[in-house]
Amino acid sequence: MEVTIFPAMNTLAKLQILSGAARYDASCASSGSRREGAPPGGTGNTSQSGICHSWSDDGRCISLLKLLLSNDCRYDCAYCVNRSSNQVPRASFTAREVVDLTLEFYRRNYIEGLFLSSAVMQSPDQTMERMVRVVETLRVEERFGGYIHLKIIPGSSSELVRKAGFYADRISVNMELPSQASLQRLAPQKEKAAILEPMALIGREIQESLVERKKIRSAPRFAPSGQSTQMIIGASPETDFQILRLSQGLYKKMNLKRVYYSAYVPVSDDNRLPVIASPPLLREHRLYQADWLLRFYGFTAEEILSDDAPHLDESFDPKTAWALRHPEFFPVEINRADYGTLLRVPGIGVTSAKRIVAARRFSLITPEGMKKIGVVVKRAKYFITCSGRPFEQSLHQPAQIRQQLLLGEGSGEVKLPRQLVLPGLYA
Amino acid sequence: MVKYLCDGTSDGTLSAIGLILQEHSDPGLVTLSEREDTLFEEGMFIATDPLKAEDLFSRLKEKAPDAARTLYFFMLAEQEGMANSLLHYIEQALQHGDKVNGYLTHPAVRDIVTVSRKAARELHRMKGLLRFEKLRDGAYLAQMEPDHNIIQPLAYHFSRRLRAQHWFLYDRKRRTASSWNKGELRFGTIEQFTTPALSEDEKEVQAMWQAFFKTIAIPDRKNPRLQKSNMPMKYWKYLTEKQGE
């Protein structure tokens, strides 16, 4: 008779509480790290492009077993479902429980690895230490080679941060809110310095490890998949411009791989929080679009927004909004424009721009050819020419194009965004 | 126009293409199709020569490794009636090297690249969607019915990943199987398949996963359409988290 792995119903109940409490963390990427094969005698490797294993009922990808080690929090952050004043059932896993769940799920190919975060139990250091012990057990005792994303608890010692980066593929410190003022108001027990310091430390360690590994291939890796962070959108009064400039700074100065935006889901009737009927999903979607422009399209935050127009347009994606403000940039000639210029055309993304550049080597591209190479011109047609000939005869004025685009999309009625985030595809 | 016929197997098609490219200075004037043995079929039949097929594949690998990869995935798609496109794709690949895959305005290139891309996409998808169940003897079994014949590269993927366990993959549609045990990867066919008994703790682990799957979704953001477009329903049959829905 085989022994059951999970002793009581207990683990199942804990799993429900502690995955439910972790679901508001948007990060799910499993990419950017590459371990060819499982460690000797062990299980698990990672894939450069990341792998999604399932999609939950909200349509988000599941790639990691996303858990809190505990939701028993001594902090009382207004926006958080786990705040100490909230009446919710509390639970904490033992290290063994998390290790066994990870391994049993991984062996059945349910997951790509583990995402472990936690509420602050007795202290940041005590919590971080327990989290590090989980991944240490996985890596050392169980020889687990799958993906691990570990949250850093703000305020934990640099020694623990270093240890975390040594075992995990990705580590992240959540910004939580886009400004010091909001942090002070909504999360008085968290300090900006306690968030930014470990971020800077992680950035330096990643850089150093990369340099070391160029010299000695066997030098230890530090968070090979980099660091990310998350901000809650719509719980505090910052403008999109402030948020984007913050992200831009994080990408440039701190070398972050990803900034996640999480639409505030009303989980509290605290009077410091705005009263909203539903999470601001469209705003979140537009921020992700703008974030993509920063990372892959060569835009700066100042090109996308300004102090005079600090919010992203609801009716148009940020690239189209930019194009409508810059008629002098258009039309773009498909057969001559360089890659960077093609990327600025609304409706032409990274894939399309690359296909255009590749196909041009063989012959001039005709409007018919655009279809053949799989470039959708529904939106782009107002902004391009093909060998000098326009796609749309009569439209030149931004006002006309604006009108046409709105008509083409069901008279300005904004469709609920389909999620743009493809966590598996890009870091 | 010169017309040729081949037997339609991958070896047969490739050896015919190899021969045509050797004999004709202008393959643009040649067509190749699969023999159907109808009365009025026109064209000269080229017999299968595995050596010739292998020869062509290594030439392609040397001159255009990306195109050889495209060809590999194209073959997994088991598409019929595309011998002529394949002939002209390979002709272009040998001429232009790896940049051929960007020549999507060429109809043959587009045909082959499109089919190949689909097979590659399903392989990537199955790396995530395949589900193993633990059997009574401690081995793990995953069943699937993919559109493309991807068992070989899929098994290779898991041989790197789930190294420490004994497992089987079974393609129910093609009755092909693969097994991994103690460092040995094997392929074969299973004509009579009976579902083996599960390990005693299997249902418990599955219940855990189903519970996790349910709670990880944010109720305020329910979006079944998005879920289905990312994870088409044809794959739900073997998904542990979608059982009993």
**A397-419 burial code (b ≥16 CB/10 A, e <16):** eeeebbeebeeeeeeeeeeebeb
Query: Is A60 in Cβ contact with B221 (below 8 Å)?
Result: yes
Residues 169-228 of A with CB under 8 A from B: none
Structure tokens at B117: 């891309």
**B165 chain-A contacts, CB cut-off 8 A:** 43, 107
Find the largest Cα–Cα distance for chain A: 79
Q: Which residues contact A153 (CB under 8 A, 6 or more apart)?
A: A118, A120, A124, A127, A128, A131
Q: Please, are residues A379 and A330 in contact by the beta-carbon 8 Å criterion?
A: no
Q: Is A22 on the interface with B (CB under 8 A)?
A: yes
- Which chain A residue has its CA at the smallest distance from B205's CA? A104
The string of pLDDT tens digits covering residues B144-170 is: 999 999 999 999 999 999 999 999 999
pLDDT at A427: 31
Model pLDDT, residue A70: 96
Percent of chain A scoring above 70 in pLDDT: 92
A-B Cβ pairs (cutoff 8 Å, strict): 182
CA distance A173 to A205: 15
- What is the distance between the alpha carbons of residues B160 and B157, in angstroms, rounded to a whole number? 6
The pLDDT score that the predictor gives to residue A421 is 39
Better pLDDT: A210 or B128: B128
Q: How far is CA B40 from CA A15, B16, B43, in A?
A: 68, 21, 10
Question: With an 8 Å Cβ cutoff, are B220 and A265 in contact?
Answer: yes
pLDDT tens digits along B95-146: 999 999 999 999 999 999 999 999 999 999 999 999 999 999 999 999 999 9
Can you tell me the distance from the alpha carbon of A114 to that of A218, in angstroms, rounded to the nearest whole number?
24
Q: Is A7 on the interface with B (CB under 8 A)?
A: no
Tell me the pLDDT tens digit for each residue of B58-70: 999 999 999 999 9
How distant is the Cα of B78 from the closest Cα of chain A, in angstroms? 23
Flag the least confident range among A6-15, A37-46, A216-225: A6-15
Residue A190 has pLDDT above 60, yes or no: yes
What are the φ and ψ backbone dihedral angles of B2, each rounded to 5 degrees? -110, 130
pLDDT at A351 > cutoff 90:
yes
Helix (H) or strand (E) holding A100: helix A95-107
Closest CA to A98 of A126, A122, A56, A131: A131
Q: Which of A15, A49, A58 sits opposite B217 (nearest CB)?
A: A58
Is B146 within 8 Å of A121 (Cβ atoms)? no
Picking from A72-81, A212-221, A287-296, B174-183, which range would have the lowest pLDDT averaged per residue?
A212-221
Chain A hits for B128, Cβ within 8 Å: 51-54, 63, 109, 112
Q: B127: distance to nearest CA of chain A, Å?
A: 7
pLDDT band at B245 (very low <50, low <70, confident <90, very high): low
In which band, very low, low, confident or very high, does the pLDDT at A138 lie, cut at 50, 70 and 90?
Answer: very high
Closest CA to A325 of A385, A399, A395: A399
CA A168 to chain centre: 17
> Cα–Cα distance between A299 and B139 in angstroms, integer?
52
Fold entry, domain A10-304: TIM Barrel (3.20.20)
The first and second tokens of residue A65, run together, are: 């077993």
| Of A189, A261, A194, nearest in space to A231 by CA | A261
**Residue A417, preceding peptide bond in cis (omega within 30° of 0):** no
Shortest CA gap B210–chain A (Å): 10
What mean pLDDT, rounded, does chain A reach? 88
**Rounded-to-integer distance, Cα A96 and Cα A99, Å:** 5
Chain A residues touching B134 at Cβ < 8 A: 107-108
A56 contacts in B (CB within 8 Å)? Answer: 213, 216-217, 227
- The pLDDT of residue A409 is 57
Q: What is the C-alpha separation between A427 and B139, in angstroms, rounded?
A: 34
Show the tokens assigned to A423.
Answer: 């966590």
Is-contact A264 A276, C-beta < 8 A?
yes
Which CA distances in Å does A392 have to A379, A383, A395, B37? Answer: 11, 9, 6, 50
The minimal CB distance from A44 to the residues B161, B204, B240 is found for B161
Over residues B195-204, mean pLDDT: 94
Pairwise pLDDT comparison (A394 vs A128), residue with the higher score = A128
- Chain A residues within an 8 Å CB radius of B220: 265, 278-279
pLDDT for B76 beyond 90: yes
CB B113 within 8 Å of CB B66: no
Q: What is the mean pLDDT of the segment spanning B172-183?
A: 95
Alpha-helix residue ranges (DSSP H) falling in A191-299: 192-215, 240-253, 281-296
| Nearest-by-Cβ selection for A37 from B163, B209, B220 | B163
Q: Stretch A281-299: mean pLDDT, rounded? A: 95
pLDDT of residue B134: 98
Distance separating alpha carbons of residues B75 and B56, to the nearest angstrom = 14
pLDDT band with cut points at 50, 70 and 90 for residue A422: very low
What residue of B is the nearest CA neighbor of A63?
A: B128
CA distance B22 to B11: 16
pLDDT in tens, A51-80: 999 999 999 999 999 999 999 999 999 988
pLDDT (tens digit per residue) in B2-32: 899 999 899 999 999 999 999 988 888 899 9
Least CB–CB distance from A19: residue in B128, B216, B226? B216
CB burial of A229-268 (b: ≥16 within 10 Å; e: otherwise) equals bbbbbbbbebebbbbbbbbbebbeebbbbbbbbbbbbbbb
pLDDT (0 to 100) of residue A217: 84
Distance CA(B134)–CA(A60), nearest Å, equals: 27
**Chain B contact for A365 (CB, 8 A cutoff):** yes
By CA distance, what is B211's nearest residue in A?
A16
Q: What is the dihedral of CA A195, A201, A202, A208, to 10 degrees?
A: 170
pLDDT-derived band at A200, boundaries 50, 70, 90: very high
pLDDT at A85 over 90: yes
CA distances from A379 to A5, A59, A391, B46 (A): 55, 26, 11, 48
Q: Where are the domains of chain A?
A: 10-304, 318-408
Band of the pLDDT at A36, cuts 50, 70, 90? confident
- Interchain CB contact of A371 with B (< 8 Å): no
Nearest CB to A57; choose among B105, B133, B217: B217
- A41 to chain B: nearest residue by CA? B164
How many residues would you count in chain B?
245
